[in-house]
Structure 1
Amino acid sequence: MEKDVEKLIIQLQMLNQQLQSVLVQKQTLMLHNTEIDHAMEEIKDNTGKVFSIIGPVLIEKEKKSVKQDLNERKEETELRIKTLEKQEKMLKDKIKELQEKFKEMQSALGTAE
């Protein structure tokens, strides 16, 4: 029974690490989304030249093309965020389930002694 408890603790630790990784990825994507929003706001009323960075090079592009690129990137990041949110929920549910199982095992060990 104690070996089962140890396995459960290891499983919980691994799930918590996975959850932390998912949360960091989600936060990074949300920050990226905010940057895209700022860029879209900047070019919204711009009547001058619009530039885009491609690798280490800054090139002039049509405003319409830049807006389209930004919209595509925003859609892509939002989709990735939704995927990460699903993973986050799944991991949290599994962690909660294992925590309850851990409490049951602790109770069983406590009454067995």
Structure 2
Amino acid sequence: MELPPQIQAQLMQLQQLQQQLQMILMQKQSVETELKECKKALEELEKSSSDEVYKLVGGLFVKRKKEDVKKELEEKVETLELRVKTLEKQEEKLQSRLKELQEKIQKMIPTAQ
């Protein structure tokens, strides 16, 4: 039995939303990993008693002032935390749209048989 074109279109849209959600989840996981790394770097930086530290820039280690590196890391953490919040909001919206579309499709299927 072939599904009516209207249901097929809804199913395609559902599949696209699922793919978008998967992409958002992957991005969120990546950003969360980077955020953890930055926080860990800040912790290690706090343990250092030196006023200067080495920062990896490209393929080189460059001597930098500890406070400058700390400030950069704190700003990066702040930016990443905002990015995680944004991705979480996108995730919630997509999940809501997915749920609505699934319910809509469920209502359409009994009438198609």
TM-score, normalised via structure 2 length: 0.93
Deviation for aligned residue 1:54: 1.5
Determine the C-alpha separation between the residues in 2 that align with 1:31 and 1:104.
Answer: 40
Backbone CA RMSD of aligned residues: 1.1
Deviation for aligned residue 1:45: 2.1
Determine the C-alpha separation between the residues in 2 that align with 1:76 and 1:56.
Answer: 24
The equivalent of 2:38 in structure 1 is: 36
Structure 1: runs of 5 or more not aligned: none
Percent identical across equivalent pairs?
38
Find the residue that maps to 1:47 and give its secondary structure.
Answer: coil
The reply to whether residue 25 of structure 1 matches residue 27 of structure 2 is yes
Structure 2: runs of 5 or more not aligned: none
TM-score, normalised via structure 1 length: 0.93
Determine the C-alpha separation between the residues in 1 that align with 2:37 and 2:18.
Answer: 29
The equivalent of 1:83 in structure 2 is: 86
The equivalent of 2:69 in structure 1 is: 66
Determine the C-alpha separation between the residues in 2 that align with 1:45 and 1:11.
Answer: 51
Determine the C-alpha separation between the residues in 2 that align with 1:8 and 1:54.
Answer: 48
- Report how many residues are paired: 110
The equivalent of 1:10 in structure 2 is: 12
Give the AA of the match of 2:109: Q
Give the AA of the match of 1:96: K
User: What whole-Å deviation, never above 9, does each CA across 1:16-67 have from its counterpart, x for those lacking one?
Assistant: 0000000000000000011011101111021134111112221011110011
